[in-house]
């Protein structure tokens, strides 16, 4: 699913109006009907007080039009116009007149208004600001937003949480609504998935308002949202007449005394993701643990408690390196010497990334389209500090372009960056914030590259599978008890899940006609 910029959404509106021979007001009516249907399907006429806070632009026009449909179907509503400017959009004024024609008189709020009383069990519809916001809300509007938060009522936002920009952070306390639910038109917004702005949108859902399909399909976007339908085309089925050599050989390099488990987890995840052969390259101290805990893997050793040299006589398809490797003098020297002579595709994680961040000239030695899998602190060491999440993504893109590498930014919504494009993952859960989870991800991606998935597809697909395995596992363990080993054990189920179609409940949709 594509994630469109604000400019692209406005362009889609314009194209839709022209090609479908409708007015902008008719498009606004479509949006209002979709929101109404969503609410009506869930509330079925329940007499809970609904407070609609509407701005004076098109987002407010959506809210005003929604109020009309709610009133016509017998809902108990109060309508407020947040009068933050003397400017009004044409379609807002059209819908305001329609509302008044039905004897619904909204209360206009300004800096001198007494804030309305709202019960904890009431519902708030937030339609104050839309995606076109270009300045921070006035102080009195921030006071209103703070008041809405204090009521603890359920807040449903129209298209985006009011006060959020699409390309920068909100400024100051109560600068943006913290929504319980956001109904986003046609596609989700990038701000739903970034740590600093995602906190303003607890849950979201997309409403199709019929924007022009051709435009949406052809528009090139900076970001895509990755779910099952996006990764299914990547899947490479197995053929009958194949053997272990068909599915590649992964070499997993890392480990020091006390951190052999990192290599064990990566190698195990690699095997569970379908690689033909795995060899673990560890110091001597890791030999017995690997041979005992993972009999399916081959083991090469070097050094006693840490790796002093990376040299082998096998021919791996992919090398995953860095897990538990350490950043001492010996490991750093071994890694640097290895990079100077290596031509095999690489996935670099953990201490491998930390060594690179201390020796940035070595980044030039990475094979093309190497995959780097940093968590936020490792990313900061590589690309430098950022002022906000938008700057972080911009810096990651610049880094990817400079070194022709794929950067997997691990987090609640892991983002895979390759040059100017970002792919935002939808699977995974808070229980996966546990030791070894990242090692397992390196193993998953390594296995896919070994099986001849293109590096970018392997990264995107691997992140999805890893997160989906965690989602399946957490249903039995809960967040607190989820471990990396349980994630690995459920990778097979994540593959099976790719081809399972969920049952759709029969729901009779309401109409606003």
Contact 465, 493 (CB under 8 A): no
Contact 257, 305 (CB under 8 A): yes
pLDDT of residue 307: 97
pLDDT of residue 508: 44
Q: Give how far Cα 434 sits from Cα of 36, 374, 460, 479, 482, Å.
A: 41, 15, 21, 10, 8
Mean pLDDT (whole number) for 455-469? 98
Confidence of residue 214 (pLDDT cuts 50, 70, 90): very high
Distance CA 64, CA 17 (A): 21
- pLDDT, tens digit, for every residue of 125-142? 999 999 999 899 999 999
pLDDT of residue 459: 98
In this predicted structure, the answer to whether residue 269 has a pLDDT above a threshold of 80 is yes
Place of tokens 């806070």: 53
- pLDDT, tens digit, for every residue of 275-331? 999 999 999 999 999 999 999 999 999 999 999 999 999 999 999 999 999 999 999
In this predicted structure, the answer to whether residue 446 has a pLDDT above a threshold of 50 is yes
Distance CA 224, CA 211 (A): 18
pLDDT of residue 187: 96
Cα four-point dihedral sign 179, 184, 188, 190: negative
Q: Classify residue 47 by its DSSP letter.
A: -
Distance CA 412, CA 429 (A): 7
> Which is nearest to 187 in space by CA: 224, 133, 233, 231?
224
Identify the helix (H) or strand (E) that includes residue 321: strand 318-321
Distance CA 60, CA 152 (A): 22
Global pTM value: 0.94
- pLDDT, tens digit, for every residue of 96-123? 999 999 999 999 999 999 999 999 999 9
Burial class (CB in 10 A: 0-12, 13-18, 19+), 268: buried
Contacts of 352 (CB under 8 A, 6+ apart): 254, 321, 322, 323, 325, 335
In this structure, are strands 123-127 and 107-109 parallel, antiparallel, or unpaired? unpaired
Percentage of residues in the chain having pLDDT higher than 70: 98
Give the up-direction half-sphere exposure of residue 151: CA atoms within 13 A in the CB hemisphere. Answer: 24
Contact 87, 116 (CB under 8 A): no
Strand partners, 154: 123
């Amino acid at each position: 699913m594509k994630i469109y910029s604000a400019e692209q959404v406005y362009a889609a509106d314009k194209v839709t109006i022209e090609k479908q021979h409708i007015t902008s007001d008719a498009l606004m009516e479509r949006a209002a009907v979709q929101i109404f249907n969503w609410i009506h399907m869930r509330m079925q006429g329940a007499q809970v007080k609904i407070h609609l806070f509407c701005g004076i632009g098109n987002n407010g026009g959506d809210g005003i039009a929604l109020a009309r449909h709610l009133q016509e179907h017998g809902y108990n509503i109060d309508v407020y116009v947040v009068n933050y400017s003397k400017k009004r959009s044409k379609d807002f004024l059209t819908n305001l007149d329609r509302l008044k024609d039905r004897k619904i008189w909204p209360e206009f709020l300004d800096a001198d208004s007494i804030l309305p009383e709202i019960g904890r069990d009431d519902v708030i519809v937030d339609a104050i600001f839309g995606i076109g916001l270009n300045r921070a809300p006035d102080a009195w509007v921030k006071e209103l937003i703070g008041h809405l938060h204090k009521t603890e009522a359920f807040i449903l936002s129209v298209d985006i949480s009011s006060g959020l920009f699409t390309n920068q952070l909100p400024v100051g306390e109560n600068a943006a609504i913290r929504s319980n639910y956001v109904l986003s038109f046609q596609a989700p917004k990038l701000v739903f998935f970034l740590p600093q702005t995602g906190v303003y949108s607890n849950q979201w859902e997309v409403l199709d308002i019929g924007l022009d399909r051709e435009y949406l399909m052809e528009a090139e976007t900076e970001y895509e949202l990755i779910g099952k339908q996006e990764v299914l085309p990547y899947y490479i089925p197995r053929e009958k007449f194949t053997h272990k050599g068909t599915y590649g050989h992964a070499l997993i390099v890392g480990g020091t005394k006390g951190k052999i488990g990192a290599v064990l987890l990566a190698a195990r995840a690699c095997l569970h993701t379908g690689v033909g052969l795995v060899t673990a390259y560890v110091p001597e101290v890791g030999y017995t643990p690997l041979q005992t805990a993972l009999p399916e893997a081959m083991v090469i050793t070097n050094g006693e408690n840490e790796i002093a040299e990376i040299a082998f006589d096998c021919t791996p398809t992919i090398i995953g390196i860095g897990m538990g490797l350490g950043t001492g003098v010996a490991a750093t020297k071994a890694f640097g010497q290895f990079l100077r002579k290596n031509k095999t595709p690489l996935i670099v994680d953990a201490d491998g990334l930390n060594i690179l961040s201390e020796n940035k000239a070595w980044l030039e030695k990475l094979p093309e389209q190497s995959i780097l899998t940093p968590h936020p602190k490792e990313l900061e060491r590589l690309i430098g500090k950022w002022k906000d999440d938008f700057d972080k993504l911009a810096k990651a893109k610049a880094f990817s372009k400079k070194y022709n590498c794929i950067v997997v930014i691990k987090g609640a919504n892991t983002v895979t960056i390759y040059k100017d494009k970002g792919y935002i993952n939808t699977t995974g859960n808070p229980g996966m914030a546990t030791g070894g989870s990242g090692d397992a991800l390196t193993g998953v991606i390594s296995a896919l590259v070994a099986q001849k998935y293109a590096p970018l597809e392997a990264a995107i697909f691997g992140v999805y599978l890893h997160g989906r395995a965690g989602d399946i596992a957490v249903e039995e363990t809960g967040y607190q008890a989820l471990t990396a080993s349980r994630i690995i054990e459920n990778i097979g189920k994540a593959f099976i899940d790719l081809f399972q179609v969920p049952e759709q409940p029969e729901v009779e949709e309401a109409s606003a006609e």
